Structure 1
Amino acid sequence: MQSEWWRSAAVYQLYVRSFADGDGDGDGDLAGARGRLDHLADLGVDAVWLTPFYRSPMADGGYDVADYCDVDPRFGTLADFDDLLARAHELGMRVLVDVVPNHTSDQHAWFVEALAATPGDPARERYLFRDGRGADGSLPPNDWESIFGGPAWTRVPDGQWYLHLFAPEQPDLNWRNPQVRAEFAKILGFWLDRGVDGFRIDVAHGMIKHPDLPDTGLHRQISLLGRAELPYFDQDEVHEIYRDWRRLLDSYDGGRIGVAEAWAPTSERLARYVRPDELHQAFNFALLEAPWSAAEFRTVVAESLATTERVGATTTWVLGNHDVRRPVTRYGDGERGLRRAAAAALLSFALPGSVYVYQGEELGLPEVLDLPEEVLQDPQRSSGADRGRDGCRVPMPWSGAHPPFGFSATAASWLPAPARWADRTVAAQREAPASVLRTYREALRIRREHPALGDGALRWLDAPEGVLAFAREPGLVCATNFGPDPVELDLPGRLLHRSDAFAGPVPEWTGTLPGECTAWLTTGSAQHTGATRP
């Protein structure tokens, strides 16, 4: 039987352009990432997820792919990828790569061919070209909106329109076309043959559109993502694709997996992506979206565990990624945001299932909200308060007292790091007697070694209002105080770890849990001995 390693894995999301620059041009790359993998091994993660590094004009940070089977020169070569993969495996870490099947770049050979073709030509059948509405066809085929704002249709010179649920440079593929399905089977095989351990599937809910392309009758449709039924997302036929992909993944040894970035209007519909004959994981964004509240967190956890348990899957916990504001800032910024982010992290690490850490979370990095207007690159940005996703993509600070903090040896980084990050670098936190990095590293060490953590079940414990407490067997209790003031808890055991350890020495457990803090206690005869779980 193949290893089900993913059911308990801690996975690190490595945003390639912002992790480490190996050639000194200011952009992160595969060689730079390979040189920094020791940091991830030291942190204690089980796997690394790499964001897209394929050939791309970078209209959307590499999620507009021009060639799925080659490396963009700004990120290196296929040989660089092979070196990174080999080094990660040498360090005991698996590697997941992003696959972007909902759309291609407008510079992909298929779309270039489609534009050169005439209406009705088979080349256009790989995408979703349609005639417009109105007497002269000058109106879009329907009222669908782009995730990035504006209509989801662009007109071409011969009068037809093509669908793009994201930027105009990202035309949507037609997944009812057999050529599309066959091509992606080849793409997955190409990377599996090179030795990758799985795929994170971008917009996994989006590949199939309602065949009638009906109007929604809705405005600001992006605000309904994951909350309402939409004719271009989460259509039932998408599951046929994943049953095919699961058969392909299972034909390789070593436990290769598929991870869905899927949004669905209910937790029951999300769980369908991880049925036994489909994908292995689906990101659980409900915890990421939950407000800072014991009641809200408990509701999300209980519903998520119940729905995935019904299909025999494990739950995958996420607090941040390259598309959302960083937890430190989302939870209030400053010291309060840092305390809450660390508490939420330890809570998520103690929950049954798998956990994902976005690069920089282990350093307590906040969102950079004051990037100069002229450096912003995210196509999702708009005027006003929402300036896009660049603020969570600022490059990693590694060492030194001044930007770019060791990210690049010779050039300024593609997005500037703030000078105030001097005490947040990896080197500074590694050398400090207490730091966020040390707190995360210890938490992940315990999570890997303690037999109660990872896959399994939990049992809720009685706790005062504003406190969430549960037990994991054998012998671990997790308690989180969401309130600002200390509380007295009648919980036995020895203190194993606390989320505020980054602030200095933590006293022995006497029953008092500080405000905005998570504590792990080891209890009973199954006191933690350091034995690694199977």
Structure 2
Amino acid sequence: MSAAASWWQRGIIYQVYPRSFQDSNGDGVGDLAGIIARLDYLHGLNVDIIWLSPIYPSPMHDFGYDVADYCAIDPLFGSMSDFDRLLAEVHRRGMRLVLDLVPNHSSHRHPWFIASRSARDDPRRAWYIWRDPASGGGPPNNWLSHFGGPAWTFDEGSGQYYMHQFLPQQPELNYRHPEVLPAMLDCMRFWLDKGVDGFRVDVIGMLLKDPLFRDEPANPAWNGIREYQSLLHVHTANLPEVHGLIRQMRAFLDGWDDRLMIGELYLPNAELVRYYGNEDGAECHLPFNFQLIRAPWDAAVIRRVVDEYEALLPVHAWPNWVLGNHDQKRLATRVGLSQARVANMLLLTLRGTPTCYYGDEIGMLDVPLPLTLMQDPPALRQPEIAHLVGRDPQRTPMQWDASANAGFAAAGVRSWLPLAADCSTRNVASQAADPASPLGFFRAMTALRRAEPALASGFYQSLDADQPDVFAYLRGDRGSTLLVLLNFGAERRRPALPLSDAAADLLLSTAMTAPRRLSLAQLVLEPDEGMVLRLPAGSRVSRSVLSGG
């Protein structure tokens, strides 16, 4: 990466789930004024890019991912003046703001769908996907919803079905109609003209569906648990034509200076990298890479995933990594509290742009909820597997301090979701005073990444450590070579590295031990420990080690 690298290549993305970050007005739901009040905290984390989950007007059937107006702010979160102030304050601190864009589907209460539903001959009828019933009655085909049941809802008034891959209250837009994309681009224009720095585009690979509406084939590997996984979704996601649509969105975005487009895609590496736009890089700047979330937490597996991704990246493509978001179980819940620091060190030392999820810096855990307290639609629609598909546990309020409601809301206010049982001890205030806490480590790690060009922009090369549970790799540039060692296991390990130097300087350990010089030949990784070390200037690294890097 050159010295002229863009802000989104150098920076760290931090996702804020607005409902759960900070309540400022006593209604138990986070809002824009609350985010503004916490911007200094975010700035102190050394994060550069704040990504907000949807804040548009919405009936909230899917908590904002059912958009009723793409160019306004839901009063639940505040006003447009609150948003303008948030954007100004973010920029004043030298940070950037990225919004969620939800183009695949709108709310059933969006004026576009209200018009579409009003009559078969309405000009906006074809803006959405309508079909006649099957010849024998019932849905037009076997397509399924992510949230359970058919992907079709019958409209009594018109005698047709409309399509939705999520809730019935989230009808799918028809991007094969020539007026739909320009309408969505106009919505993007509204925010870009305000100065928003880019968009994270929801389910970007699902924007086009099979024009022949063919049934999807059965999935021979289905485990019989989640209905949606009983089919192979070859006609409703990742159609080849979707790349042309994404190119048009990217070309439009490029009409503004240096803005960012992130695509949400849950795909294997070989399919994911196609969304960069191959060698011309004319699609997503960052097709979100969720491999670290989906892969087993095993050193050998993670190394293989990283090496494969690096090898498959198109020319000029910039990598990215994600360890948590609003749809996935929390990092510390997935890998355990002992491994959470190792995971964050991995995320923040790999080559590419890292994305963090609010609360992971303090080790927040999923909050177990009984079905009676769940609000997430996939859980309520599929109660028999609510514990598998419900996303409420990872969306609970941010834990700021030991006061009532953990500082998220005033005392006596009922928060929209319950707080964690450990919020009085696991919170920002208690950890801020302890440099060795998870928060202290996270700040030290982000500061090191910011200070070291080798971490922000240097090469990556994995190494054989000749030890189970150890993932070792180099990060380097012309001025410095860093060695990262991560112990994924609960036993002490003594890595045997293909490096000729006798010693290296420890810059940071997950154990937060003091920086010192260590002998590489005698180096020991404690259980659940990660290290970043600087190799001496002019280090002699085996030619075979660097042959691919």
Q: Select 1:102's aligned residue among 101, 104, 124.
A: 104
Say if 1:363 and 1:426, in contact at 8 Å, map to a contact too: yes
For 1:364, the equivalent position in structure 2 comes to 363
Q: Distance in 1 between matches of 2:298 and 2:183?
A: 46
Gaps of 5+ in 1: 332-336, 528-534
For 1:496, the equivalent position in structure 2 comes to 507
Q: Distance in 2 between matches of 1:18 and 1:441?
A: 22
Question: Which digits, 9 at most, give the CA deviation of each residue in 1:92-133, with x for residues without a partner?
Answer: 110000000000001101111122112x54322000000011
For 2:56, the equivalent position in structure 1 comes to 54
Q: Select 1:323's aligned residue among 324, 327, 332.
A: 327
Q: Distance in 2 between matches of 1:66 and 1:496?
A: 50
For 1:334, the equivalent position in structure 2 comes to none
Question: Which digits, 9 at most, give the CA deviation of each residue in 1:120-170, with x for residues without a partner?
Answer: 5432200000001134xx310110110001101000103200000001110
The CA deviation at 1:279 is 1.5
Once the two structures are overlaid, the 10-residue window that deviates more, 373-382 or 149-158, is 373-382
Say if 1:130 and 1:161, in contact at 8 Å, map to a contact too: yes
Structure 1 segments of 4+ aligned residues over 3 angstroms from their partners: 219-225, 504-510
Q: How does 1:295-444 map to 2 (within 5 A)?
A: 295-308=300-313, 310-331=314-335, 337-369=336-368, 371-381=369-379, 382-384=382-384, 385-386=387-388, 388-402=390-404, 404-410=405-411, 411-444=413-446
Q: Select 1:232's aligned residue among 227, 230, 236.
A: 236
Gaps of 5+ in 2: 220-225, 498-502, 540-549
Q: Distance in 2 between matches of 1:434 and 1:413?
A: 30
Q: How does 1:83-232 map to 2 (within 5 A)?
A: 83-118=85-120, 121-135=122-136, 138-157=137-156, 158-218=158-218, 222-223=228-229, 230-232=234-236
From the superposition, tell whether residues 155 and 2 of structure 1 become closer, same or farther in structure 2 (CA, over 3 Å): farther
For 1:472, the equivalent position in structure 2 comes to 475
Say if 2:250 and 2:284, in contact at 8 Å, map to a contact too: yes
Q: Secondary structure at the match of 2:422?
A: helix
Question: Which digits, 9 at most, give the CA deviation of each residue in 1:315-339, with x for residues without a partner?
Answer: 11011100010111112xxxxx112
Question: Which digits, 9 at most, give the CA deviation of each residue in 1:474-506, with x for residues without a partner?
Answer: 2210011122101113563111112233xx878
The CA deviation at 1:252 is 1.1
Say if 1:343 and 1:500, in contact at 8 Å, map to a contact too: no
Number of residue pairs matched? 510
Q: Select 1:514's aligned residue among 513, 518, 526.
A: 526
Q: Secondary structure at the match of 1:458?
A: strand
For 2:543, the equivalent position in structure 1 comes to none
Whether 1:281 aligns to 2:264 is no
Say if 2:493 and 2:525, in contact at 8 Å, map to a contact too: yes
Q: Distance in 2 between matches of 1:66 and 1:141?
A: 26
From the superposition, tell whether residues 239 and 143 of structure 1 become closer, same or farther in structure 2 (CA, over 3 Å): same
The CA deviation at 1:508 is 6.8
Say if 1:354 and 1:455, in contact at 8 Å, map to a contact too: no
From the superposition, tell whether residues 181 and 433 of structure 1 become closer, same or farther in structure 2 (CA, over 3 Å): closer
Give the TM-score normalised by the residue count of structure 2.
Answer: 0.89
For 2:259, the equivalent position in structure 1 comes to 256
The CA deviation at 1:462 is 2.1
Say if 2:505 and 2:516, in contact at 8 Å, map to a contact too: no
RMSD: 2.0
Question: Which digits, 9 at most, give the CA deviation of each residue in 1:9-44, with x for residues without a partner?
Answer: 210000011001111211000110011011110000
The CA deviation at 1:456 is 3.7
Q: Distance in 2 between matches of 1:105 and 1:207?
A: 16
The amino acid that maps onto 1:18 is: S
The CA deviation at 1:423 is 1.4
The CA deviation at 1:224 is 7.5
Give the TM-score normalised by the residue count of structure 1.
Answer: 0.92
